Amino acid sequence: MAAWPAVPLLINLGGSLLGFAATLTLIPAFKDHFLAARLFGEDLNKASRRPVPEAQGVISGAVFLIILFCFIPVPFLRCFVAEQCAAFPHDEFVELIGSLLAICCMIFLGFADDVLNLRWRHKLLLPTMASLPLLMVYFTNFGNTTIVVPKPFRVLLGMHLDLGILYYVYMGMLAVFCTNAINILAGINGIEAGQSLVIAASIIVFNIAELNGDYQDDHIFSLYFMIPFFFTTLGLFYHNWYPSRAFVGDTFCYFAGMTFAVVGILGHFSKTMLLFFIPQVLNFLYSLPQLFHIIPCPRHRLPRLNPSTGKLEMSYSKFKTKSLSALGTNILKAVKILHIVDVRSGTDEDGEYTECNNMTLINFVIKLIGPTHERNLTLLLLLIQKAFV
The pLDDT score that the predictor gives to residue 82 is 57
The pLDDT score that the predictor gives to residue 69 is 96
* pLDDT, tens only, 97-136: 999 999 999 999 899 888 888 777 777 777 888 888 888 8
Radius of gyration over alpha carbons of the chain, in Å?
A: 23
Identify the CA nearest to 178 among candidates 134, 148, 143, 139. Answer: 134
pTM greater than 0.85: yes
Terminal alpha carbon distance of the chain: 28
The pLDDT score that the predictor gives to residue 3 is 58
Identify the CA nearest to 223 among candidates 208, 212, 233, 237. Answer: 208
Measured from the Cβ of residue 34, the count of other Cβ atoms closer than 10 Å reads 22
The pLDDT score that the predictor gives to residue 107 is 93
Are 54 and 253 in contact, with CB atoms under 8 Å apart?
no
Peptide linkage before 243 cis (omega within 30 of 0): yes
Are 312 and 374 in contact, with CB atoms under 8 Å apart?
yes
| H-state helical runs in the chain | 6-29, 31-36, 57-71, 90-116, 120-130, 132-141, 154-157, 165-184, 191-209, 216-240, 249-266, 270-275, 278-291, 326-337, 361-369, 374-388
Angle (deg, nearest 10), helices 191-209 and 374-388: 20
* pLDDT, tens only, 140-185: 887 778 777 767 777 888 888 888 888 888 888 888 899 889 989 9
The pLDDT score that the predictor gives to residue 246 is 95
**Residue length, the chain?**
389
Identify the CA nearest to 93 among candidates 254, 221, 197, 271. Answer: 221
> Which residues partner with 41 through β-bridges?
52
Angle (deg, nearest 10), helices 249-266 and 165-184: 150
The pLDDT score that the predictor gives to residue 4 is 64
Successive 10-residue mean pLDDT values, the chain, 389 residues: 76 97 97 94 85 95 97 86 70 91 91 84 78 86 76 78 86 88 92 97 95 87 97 98 94 95 89 91 95 89 92 94 92 94 89 93 96 96 92
